[in-house]
Structure 1
Amino acid sequence: MKAKRFGIDIDGTVTCPTSLIPFINQDFSLNITLDDIKKYDLSEALDIPAERFSDWFNKREPAIYASSPLAEGAKEVLLKWKEQFQLFFISARRNHLMNITERWFEEQDILYDRIELIGSHDKIKAAKQYKVDIFLEDKHDNAVSIHEELRIPVLLFNTPYNQDPIPDGVIRVDNWAQAEQWVNRWVHPTKAVSISENSY
């Protein structure tokens, strides 16, 4: 049995958080960058009526997910982790997008133990079901609620839209290299004694 179980969000975590931007710019005649998105709710962030944005997203979702680029460094880290840990990808995507999601993982050559598309941002039930020991996420309130409910560390991938304060058990990382470094210290704490000592 592998020692640790990882719960991992997909969009904005494994995929690059800029994935939607080319589609938004094209379809809404905008010229935004990731730095312009200060809120997770894109209709609010971009001042587009919620119903209009929702209709657009429902139509564009398959194309967006099929073409989403990987976050830099994600593949290299996930390939290493798959040798040591169990990987459960838990996403708010709806289940009818499973075929597109599985195909994307296959094309990216990313292995996994399970993909769970729950159709909701409430990932606590799935995280409990799979008994994950750590979670990786980009949505601020998800990260906080998962940590507070399950009392596990959550790595929050830093973006302009998740800058609210976080509790101690939620750890900001700027990229997958930092995530890997943090996990190495977490899994092998005795090797990080000198790091801990230097922090006091």
Structure 2
Amino acid sequence: MTIKRLGLDIDGTVTSPKTFLPYLNSSFNKKLSLTDITQYDLANLLNITQEEFFEWLKSNEETIYSNALIAEHAHPILEDWKGNYELFYISARGNHLLDTTKNWFTTNRVPYHHIDLIGKHDKINSIKKHQVDVFFEDKHDNACDIAEECDIPVILFNTPYNQGAVPSGVKRLDTWPEARNWLQQYNKNGRA
């Protein structure tokens, strides 16, 4: 199979997984580092209710997403890929953040062909609709579900909050250069 269309999560994948930390620390009087974020459920980690967390997120998301730092080494690799692959970003962000998201992509000169903000973590229908060939993700259960339901390879960027066993279709990698090398090998051999 020749890979033509890359599916990419945004938050914690293209943006740094540390993006939320200064806002969490400031708002909740914490001194958290990335190694302290050992679960995806931040409400549980902060010892607040889901409702309290979503209210906090709702009032802060535009600022956080507008000022997000791009993940280390992601920019030159995405820039290199834009001529060889179609870049489809599929994110759990709500569609009300489309202008904020596109402005961030423009400001940071991050190439894209399509942005789909679906407002939920279940990305399977969007991945199938856009006929994505491989997906890049940071959320453990998303990576596992996508690999199994869509029968495509998934790159899971390794973080303290996404540990756990993964099926054979999920490749856990630490860096964007490793992802670039994986994709080159896959295209060369039909597997990596």
TM-score normalized with structure 2 length:
0.96
Corresponding residue number in structure 2 for 1:71: 71
- Give aligned-pair identity as a percent: 46
Matched letter for residue 79 of structure 1? E
Secondary structure, aligned partner of 1:188? helix
- C-alpha distance in 2 between matches for 1:111 and 1:140: 25
Return 5+ residue gaps in structure 2 as ranges.
Answer: none
Q: Deviations over 1:154-196 (max 9, x none)?
A: 0000000000110111000101010001001001118x9xxx8
Query: How far 1:3 sits from its partner (Å)?
Result: 5.3
TM-score normalized with structure 1 length:
0.92
Corresponding residue number in structure 2 for 1:156: 156
Q: How does 1:76-95 map to 2 (within 5 A)?
A: 76-95=76-95
Matched letter for residue 178 of structure 2? Q
Query: How far 1:110 sits from its partner (Å)?
Result: 1.2
Q: Deviations over 1:125-148 (max 9, x none)?
A: 000011000000000000000000
Corresponding residue number in structure 1 for 2:100: 100
Number of residue pairs the alignment of both structures matches? 191
Query: How far 1:45 sits from its partner (Å)?
Result: 2.1
Corresponding residue number in structure 1 for 2:120: 120
- Tell me how large the CA RMSD over aligned residues is: 1.4
Corresponding residue number in structure 2 for 1:8: 8
Return 5+ residue gaps in structure 1 as ranges.
Answer: none
Secondary structure, aligned partner of 1:128? helix
- C-alpha distance in 2 between matches for 1:47 and 1:179: 34
Q: Which has the larger radius of gyration?
A: 1
Corresponding residue number in structure 2 for 1:42: 42
Corresponding residue number in structure 1 for 2:59: 59
- C-alpha distance in 2 between matches for 1:81 and 1:118: 24
Secondary structure, aligned partner of 1:109? coil
- C-alpha distance in 1 between matches for 2:130 and 2:147: 15
- C-alpha distance in 2 between matches for 1:51 and 1:85: 39
Matched letter for residue 128 of structure 2? K
- C-alpha distance in 2 between matches for 1:68 and 1:81: 21
Corresponding residue number in structure 1 for 2:140: 140
Alignment of 1:21 onto 2:21: yes
Matched letter for residue 133 of structure 1? D
Moved over 6 A (4+): none
- C-alpha distance in 2 between matches for 1:9 and 1:163: 18
- C-alpha distance in 1 between matches for 2:94 and 2:185: 34
- C-alpha distance in 1 between matches for 2:160 and 2:47: 17
Q: Check whether the contact 1:147–1:154 (CA below 8 A) recurs between aligned residues.
A: yes
Q: How does 1:169-184 map to 2 (within 5 A)?
A: 169-184=169-184
- C-alpha distance in 1 between matches for 2:140 and 2:3: 27
